Structure 1
Amino acid sequence: MIRNILNIAMTVLLLLIMDYRFTGNAFHESGGLVLALLFIFHNVLNRRWYTVFFKGRQSVRSVLMTLANLLLTAAMLTSFVTGVLISVTVFAPPGIRSDGLLVHDLHQGAAYASFILAAIHLGLHWDMLGAKLKNWLHIDGSSLGWIITGRIVAITVIAYGVYASFTHHIGDKLLLQHVFMEWGAAPSLWGFLIDYLAISGCYAGITYYLLYLLR
């Protein structure tokens, strides 16, 4: 239960701090600090995973999960370290701020990589999460109506998520490229939430279905 609450809290917080134009820099940095503490706590709770993931025979799902977890950890740590270096609020007093453009680019790229990898992580665990969700909502997952509805929703989310990935230049941001088109734009909060939830759902859904095909 604690792990599930922790995962939800980190996912929501990561979404909230993806664009500081809605929250301001102070909340962006404070939220990043809280996310770092939650991430450390999450790894402490799951420390046994680091001692056993190389032991025994590994399935395709286990290998993919190990790779996703290691990449996510590396991306999050890069985002945290670079966030400290470019801080103007939370870590500004110690005088360790860096104005280097490369550090800003690394911070943005690592943050978006963390966002995508968190979605992939969600897709790798969707069997378990989906079962819990169906049980909580008292849904008969074997019914034809639910299966058809679920497929339609999944296809819609994936299709729109691909579209939103291009409109928000996710690929450019992952490659540490500047996106000038968004500078000075007046963003829509609801549009941002819908688009980024769709992007997250897109990568989670693609991961789930690719894993399903690999089986």
Structure 2
Amino acid sequence: MMRLEIPLTILSLVLMGGNMFFPWAPAHEIIGVLLIVVWALHVYANRRWFKAVFRGRYNPYSIMQTVVNCGMLVCALFLAISGVMLSNHVFTFLEIESGASFARTAHLLASHWYFVFIALHIGLHVNVIFSRLGVAQLVMKSRGVVVATRIAVALIGAYGVYAFIERGLWKYLTLQQPFFFMDLERGYVLFFVDYIAMIVAFAVAIIFVSSLIRLRQRG
């Protein structure tokens, strides 16, 4: 499962820049198709979890996890459908001539909510991701490393909050910004730094909420 989440995150970050990263026009659409293919593989690999969504009893943590996972899936579906409708290269053979206005709005809204959900999803699975990569064992070897890591994560998360406001991501999430704008003067490197920091901020937020829920359940 986690082997797919790494390419999912990378592809998602690249696509968040829209067409502005690519001198070759079809690139955004091709990478978008690749993202949906990886997503389909991810859903298939976790089909048992999705089959169990409407079964069993729910507690606050499982409700939160279900909302995040299903929200991410719904956004991915809207991205796929609107992407096909807006296609100027890969899917032109379908000859879709209507619904462009709806598709643009849906694509803009779904892409940014998808980004939020994938960041929250990473936060919910960060322990598993780190254990798979061998990071957890490395960090836990020294108390000093643990403290330094927590400080670094807190600082990156704080910058992520600043980037969220500075990049105006909240405007896309609430449709107050009707079209995507990228400040090219800040450059591509800062774009990735900002969006990675935002992922950290959302991940830290849901880790904190998860910890509170688990403490309350134990109490």
Give TM-score scaled by structure 1 length: 0.89
Cα distance between partner residues in 1 of 2:101 and 2:93: 21
Give TM-score scaled by structure 2 length: 0.87
Structure with the bigger percentage of helix: 2
Cα distance between partner residues in 2 of 1:105 and 1:182: 14
Name structure 1 gaps, 5 residues minimum: none
1:155 to 1:78, Cα distance in 2 relative to 1, 3 A: same
User: Secondary structure of 2:138's partner?
Assistant: coil
Deviation at 1:103, TM superposition (A): 2.1
Query: How many pairs does the alignment contain?
Result: 212
Q: How far does the alpha carbon of each residue in 1:117-138 deviate from its partner, in whole angstroms, 9 at most, with x for none? A: 00100101112223334x3575
Contact kept in structure 2, 1:15 and 1:196, CA below 8 Å: yes
Cα distance between partner residues in 2 of 1:137 and 1:49: 25
Deviation at 1:100, TM superposition (A): 3.3
Contact kept in structure 2, 1:79 and 1:111, CA below 8 Å: yes
1:98 to 1:14, Cα distance in 2 relative to 1, 3 A: farther
Q: Give matches, 1:1-215, under 5 Å.
A: 3-19=1-17, 20-24=19-23, 25-98=25-98, 100-133=100-133, 135-136=134-135, 138-141=137-140, 143-178=142-177, 182=181, 185-215=184-214
Deviation at 1:104, TM superposition (A): 0.7
User: Secondary structure of 1:182's partner?
Assistant: coil
1:56 to 1:109, Cα distance in 2 relative to 1, 3 A: same
Contact kept in structure 2, 1:13 and 1:31, CA below 8 Å: yes
Identity rate of aligned residues, in percent?
28
Contact kept in structure 2, 1:86 and 1:98, CA below 8 Å: no
Cα distance between partner residues in 1 of 2:183 and 2:56: 53
Structural RMSD (CA): 2.2
Deviation at 1:184, TM superposition (A): 7.3
Q: How far does the alpha carbon of each residue in 1:95-129 deviate from its partner, in whole angstroms, 9 at most, with x for none? A: 11446333212101101111110010010111222
1:208 to 1:33, Cα distance in 2 relative to 1, 3 A: same
Cα distance between partner residues in 1 of 2:204 and 2:148: 15
Q: Which amino acid aligns with 1:141?
A: M
Q: How far does the alpha carbon of each residue in 1:25-69 deviate from its partner, in whole angstroms, 9 at most, with x for none? A: 311111111111111121112111122233333343222111111
